[in-house]
Amino acid sequence: MQEEEMCCCHKHKERSEKEYRDLINRLNRIEGQIRGIKGMVEKDAYCPDILIQVAAANAALNSFNKVLLANHIKTCVTDDIRAGKEETVDELVKVLQKLMK
């Protein structure tokens, strides 16, 4: 794997098999939660029960974001800073601002 292939500045990232599997497993669980919420609405479930499940799905998405962000900082951001690509810090700041809305 070449160094350029790992760089996020090309808007592409090759992930290790472990990182890929972890992210996909998390997304599959979130997808299941969303299907469960849809089923609850279709079955006229009690609103607070649905809201609790929505909160759980939001927490799962936030957890996914934390893992993905940590991986991004540890690889792409760190590599770009070492390579003198300071604009990556600006990009990270913009992403963090969007995540904190």
**Which of 29, 34, 33, 20 shows the shortest CA–CA distance to 67?**
20
User: In the chain, where are the structural domains located?
Assistant: 15-99
Per-residue pLDDT tens digits for 31-81: 999 999 999 999 999 999 999 999 999 999 999 999 999 999 999 999 999
Average pLDDT over residues 27-32: 98
* Span 15-99 CATH architecture: Up-down Bundle (1.20)
Residues 6+ apart with CB under 8 A from 92: 72, 73, 77
Characterize 41-70 residue by residue with b for buried, 16 or more Cβ atoms within 10 angstroms of its Cβ, and e for exposed: eeeeeeeeebeebeeebeebeeebeeeeee
What integer pLDDT is reported at residue 10 of this predicted model?
55
pLDDT at 14: 83
d(CA 11, CA 1): 16
**Residue 3 reports pLDDT greater than 60:** no
